[in-house]
């Protein structure tokens, strides 16, 4: 089931300095609407990067995946809101009290969307066993089951935006009362022309993510470090946008 509106591309600025980020922004300006600032860049030069991105007209997803006691997360969300970012996220496995505190804090900033991270797209069934996520009956839980449980927890505590693998979007688009209202943000996108999935374990192509019903496709390495035949981040972004258009226009 496709999303109600055409999915958008979010380019992950996974670089280490303001200068490198500015080079990418200059290349992508006017073509890409959304950028993601994650841990590395935020820790290095975060506020300056966010100011630059906003001044150049980009929307900004601050991807710091907060998980802490409810008071700390609530205060961090408010600080993100004051920074003027358009999207921010928490880990849903922080529990109901933390999620509800984050949702309440985010509600003070109506222009900012709060997302809940379900199961990281680098995780496998083995990862879940390592961190002791198991079924009570003893059989190992697979990521989709944990994703569904966390989405249920997020929805019942005030969150409608979810970060998941594009492989899980189809199940979530058939998720009872919440299916239509979920905003699904999917990293782990690998076009056929991109080198390898890297550390991403639950990846799909752009076409598969769009067909399944993703709202936002997050792409990092295939854009900021494109294969040599694609040459530039601008070319890579244009290709992905064309692939989104094509998949979207198909019935
Ligand atoms: O380079 P690549 O396209 O794999 O980058 C994916 C981006 O999405 C990274 O910035 C990563 O931190 C982020 N992300 C992810 N999986 C999640 C949440 C965020 O890969 N579950």
pLDDT by residue for the chain (251 residues), tens only, comes to: 889 899 999 999 999 999 999 999 999 999 999 999 999 999 999 999 999 999 999 999 999 999 999 999 999 999 999 999 999 999 999 999 999 999 999 999 999 999 999 999 999 989 998 988 887 666 778 899 999 999 999 999 999 999 999 999 999 998 777 787 899 999 999 999 997 778 889 999 999 999 999 999 999 999 999 999 999 999 999 999 999 999 999 96
The answer to whether the CB of 220 is under 6 A from ligand 1 is yes
Q: Under a CB-based contact definition with an 8 Å cutoff, are residues 37 and 49 in contact?
A: yes
The answer to whether the CB of 210 is under 6 A from ligand 1 is no
Cα separation, 65 vs 76, in Å, equals 11
Answer yes or no: 104 catalytic.
no
Cα separation, 53 vs 172, in Å, equals 32
| Locus of tokens 């975060």 | 46
How does strand 183-186 pair with strand 34-37? unpaired
Looking at residue 136, its pLDDT comes to 65
- Positive/negative CA dihedral, 192, 194, 199, 204: negative
The answer to whether the CB of 219 is under 6 A from ligand 1 is yes
Closest atom of ligand 1 relative to the 165 alpha carbon: 21
Q: Which of 2, 54, 65, 78 is catalytic?
A: 65
Looking at residue 251, its pLDDT comes to 63
Closest atom of ligand 1 relative to the 118 alpha carbon: 21
Protein residue closest via CA to atom 8 of ligand 1: 187
The pTM assigned to this predicted structure is 0.96
Structure tokens, 50: 């966010």
The answer to whether the CB of 166 is under 6 A from ligand 1 is no
Ligand 1 mutation target, pool 12, 147, 162, most atoms within 8 A of CB: 12
- Residue 125 Cα to ligand 1 midpoint, Å, equals 18
Q: Under a CB-based contact definition with an 8 Å cutoff, are residues 150 and 93 in contact?
A: yes
Looking at residue 66, its pLDDT comes to 98
Rg from Cα positions in the chain: 18
The answer to whether the CB of 14 is under 6 A from ligand 1 is yes
Protein residue closest via CA to atom 10 of ligand 1: 12
Q: Please enumerate in sequence order all residues whose Cβ is within 8 A of that of 209, keeping only pairs 6 or more positions apart, or say none.
A: 7, 166, 169, 186, 189, 217
- Residue 138 Cα to ligand 1 midpoint, Å, equals 30
Q: What is the DSSP string of the chain?
A: ---SS--EEEEE---SSHHHHHHHHHHHTTT--EEEE-HHHHHHHHHHHHHHHHHTT-EEEEEEEE-S-HHHHHHHHHHHHHHT-SEEEEEGGG-HHHHHHHHHHHTT-TT-EEEEE-S-TT--HHHHHHTT-B-TTSPBPPHHHHHHHHHHHHHTTT--EEE--GGGHHHHTT-GGGGGG-EEEE--B--TTSS--TT-SS-B-HHHHHHHT-SEEEE-HHHHS--TTT-SHHHHHHHHHHHHHHHHH--
């Amino acid at each position: 089931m496709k999303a109600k509106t055409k999915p958008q591309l979010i380019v992950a600025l996974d670089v280490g300095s303001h200068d490198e980020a500015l080079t990418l922004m200059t290349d992508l300006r006017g073509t890409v609407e959304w950028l993601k600032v994650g841990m590395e860049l935020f820790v290095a030069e975060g506020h300056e990067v966010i100011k630059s991105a906003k001044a150049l007209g980009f929307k900004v997803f601050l991807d710091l995946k907060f998980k802490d006691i409810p008071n700390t997360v609530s205060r961090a969300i408010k600080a993100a809101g004051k920074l003027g970012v358009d999207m921010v996220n928490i880990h849903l496995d922080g529990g109901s009290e933390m999620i509800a505190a984050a949702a309440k804090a985010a509600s003070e900033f109506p222009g900012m969307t709060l997302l809940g991270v379900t199961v990281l797209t680098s995780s496998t069934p083995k990862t879940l066993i390592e961190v002791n996520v198991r079924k009570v009956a003893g059989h190992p839980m697979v990521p989709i089951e944990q994703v569904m449980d966390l989405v249920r927890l997020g929805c019942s505590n005030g969150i409608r935006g979810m970060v998941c693998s594009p492989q899980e979007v189809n199940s979530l688009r058939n998720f009872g009362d919440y299916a239509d209202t979920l905003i699904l943000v999917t990293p782990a996108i690998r076009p056929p022309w991109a080198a390898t999935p890297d550390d991403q374990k639950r990846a799909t192509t752009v076409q598969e993510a769009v067909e399944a019903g993703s709202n936002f496709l997050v792409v990092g390495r295939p854009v900021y470090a494109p294969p040599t035949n694609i040459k530039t981040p601008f070319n890579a972004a244009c290709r992905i946008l064309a692939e989104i258009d094509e998949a979207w226009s198909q019935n």
